[in-house]
Amino acid sequence: MKRFWLIAVVLTLLVGSPALAHYQLLYTPLTALERGGEMLLKLVFTHPFEGGHTMDMAPVQEFYVVHQRGEEGEPRKTDLKEHLKQITWTSQGHAGKAYEARLPARIVRSMGDYVFVLVPGPYYEPADEEYIQQFTKLMLNVGGVPGNWHQPLGLPAEIVPLDKPYANWTGGIFRGVVMADGKPVPNAELEIEYLNYTPDMEKNAFAGKPKIEAPHPAFETIGIRANNRGEFAIGLPKAGWWGIAALGVGESEFDGKPVAREAVLWVQVTDLP
Ligand SMILES: [Cu+2]
């Protein structure tokens, strides 16, 4: 693993871009819930497949949940920043500054969909001499009543699902649309990674052994492209979590340097009983 990282660092220096993809993880163990209640979420900026390097997160800019029960009615937005607490997340041979959020039972209470949105502060990537900022979504459902899971939120960078991210069988497919400010991004570049370690919610660490050994680096971060309407589809060959990241969705500026806007969506996959 050390040698791998040495090679990765050398490649980064030579090519000038990271060899592995960064992903903003927004995690809770179960997204299809029978009933609401207290919730514990972890916010970690890491490399989910390799599970090694965990970057220090910048202070969170935005963290909220949008809830809607059923197709009718107004979605309700609840700010969650007051629940954030800084933690240290330990990955394989590494540790980084991360956050957790303990939500009281009143937040995820009634039936329907809950769309969590996290906008971390821009993260400076020295290899690229630019910041990156990942607009990250995680969705929960309570009680099976569908709600606003498919609705764009109009974020500067966003993956809008065409399948429910919390209800997927192993072997199924998952589709989505890459959007910027509510408009599709044609031919968007996407990266897909499997969350290869089980997050330990008590120890704030990636626990155990990797679930998959990749036969080749190209399988660690799978690269795909959206079509000319910004749509994509991926297979879901293994139960657990798949992270989808859309790169280069837009650009802003921070501290006189460019900020690459990216979008992340987490998809939970369940084995047939
Ligand atoms: Cu990194």
Kindly state the tokens that stand for 262.
């990216």
Kindly give the distance from the C-alpha atom of residue 91 to the centroid of ligand 1, in angstroms, as a whole number.
12
pLDDT single digits (tens) 227-266:
999 999 999 999 999 999 999 999 999 999 999 999 999 9
User: Which residues lie near ion ligand 1 (Cβ < 5 Å)?
Assistant: 22, 53, 55
Burial of 153 (0-12, 13-18, 19+ CB in 10 A): middle
**Main-chain phi, psi angles of 222, to 5 degrees:** -85, 125
User: What spacing in Å lies between the alpha carbon of 86 and ligand 1's midpoint?
Assistant: 19
- Which amino acid belongs to residue 134? Q
Spans of all domains in the chain: 18-269
**pLDDT per residue as tens, the chain (273 positions):** 445 444 444 444 443 334 468 999 999 999 999 999 999 999 999 999 999 889 999 999 999 999 988 767 678 999 999 999 999 999 998 999 999 999 999 999 999 999 999 999 999 998 889 999 999 999 999 999 999 999 999 999 999 999 999 999 999 999 999 999 999 999 999 999 999 999 999 999 999 999 999 999 999 999 999 999 999 999 999 999 999 999 999 999 999 999 999 999 999 999 999
- Please tell me the predicted confidence (pLDDT) of residue 51: 94
40: CA distance to ligand 1 center in Å? 24
Q: 76-79 and 60-68: which strand pairing? A: antiparallel
